[in-house]
Amino acid sequence: INASFYFTNKEFQMKLHLRELLSPVLLNQANVFRFRVPQVLRRKHREKTQKELDALVEEWVATWKRKRFDAGRNTTALKIKKKRESDIERGCIPFIGQSVFKGTLFPTRDEWLYMRDHYEEYIPLLLWEKYYGPEKFLRWYPSYREEIKRLLSETYDFETKRVVWMFGYGSLISPDSPPHGLSDDQKKQIIPYWLKKQAGYRRVWNYRHGPVGINAFGLEEVPQGKDGAMNIAGCIYPMDYEKASDLFSFREEGYELLLMDAEYFEPMHPDYALPRGIGYLWMCGEPIKNPVEDISDSDLACKRHNPTADSPILQSYLDTVLEGALR
């Protein structure tokens, strides 16, 4: 029936593919093929041109603005960080720093199975967590080296999977505080990564969650030509496009949405790199600032705020970030 409509409705003029014709048979719920085609038979993926990436960004921004408007949020808190002309001329942006991880970074399957059966030796367990030790182990070590590398090797295709890649550098790097809405496969792809200092940012305590009264991490842009920018350690992970838009309308609504060119990122281990062709990663930028220039202003509408007695840094928040960094 699908094949007949393909010709009678002239669907071939819409550039539909086999995926659309036989999707009930060939695709699973994640919109990917049920059967893996051998590598030698797969069609080579063509990376998007800059014009195509710009059109993709326009779609992302339109959805983000619609979600923000529906939630009653500011729709102008957005920044797109493209490569500078000098970076384009060099061809690549070198990482200025030292490697962190040696070995395999993630356990092999045999190692992972042993760790799973002896989880008490590999994860910190508080007294009331002992009963839920196996569940916590799977949060901390959701997968093993071979599976993670296989997932990362899959071709990035936004039109098919409707997935974007994110970068977290605060509480989101903790396995006990991941973003909501990740699928099982997405949780397995939380990978340690650097945001290079050439992006022009530093991580500071400048975000105030007014209703809660705590101070958290945010970014601060360093003027071009001045010192102070840093390599920022964090984690990358894939997330469904619609859920990513929701994230910046609710949980992270006090931050600018920063779309950062993928060239400004560096893997902490060369075996675990982003799929090619992503273009831009989503991340929390600078906290949203109200018209008052004084960063210490007490107006609760101003999210950009240094720590104060009424907006302190919580030890529990710091522990959560450090726990993720140590993991």
DSSP string computed for 66-83: HHHHHTT--S--EEEEPP
Q: First vs last Cα of the chain: how many Å apart?
A: 52
What pLDDT sits at residue 168? 92
What pLDDT sits at residue 33? 60
Q: How far is CA 158 from CA 22, 58, 239, in A?
A: 20, 14, 11
Question: 148 by DSSP, 3-state: which?
Answer: helix
Helices and strands: H and E segment counts in the chain: 12, 9
What pLDDT sits at residue 289? 81
Radius of gyration of the chain (CA): 22
What pLDDT sits at residue 117? 94
What pLDDT sits at residue 92? 80
What pLDDT sits at residue 163? 92
What pLDDT sits at residue 32? 58
The alpha carbon of residue 145 and the mean position of all alpha carbons in its chain are separated, in whole angstroms, by: 20
Q: Mean pLDDT of residues grouped by 10 in the chain (327 residues)?
A: 70 54 60 61 67 87 89 86 73 80 84 94 88 91 92 85 92 84 88 93 89 85 89 93 84 87 92 89 88 52 83 91 86
Q: What is the DSSP letter of 163?
A: E
What pLDDT sits at residue 300? 61
What pLDDT sits at residue 70? 86
Q: What is the DSSP letter of 209?
A: E
What are the DSSP E strand ranges found in 119-185?
A: 163-168
What pLDDT sits at residue 141? 92
The whole model's pTM is what? 0.81
What pLDDT sits at residue 6? 64
What pLDDT sits at residue 261? 93
What pLDDT sits at residue 34? 63
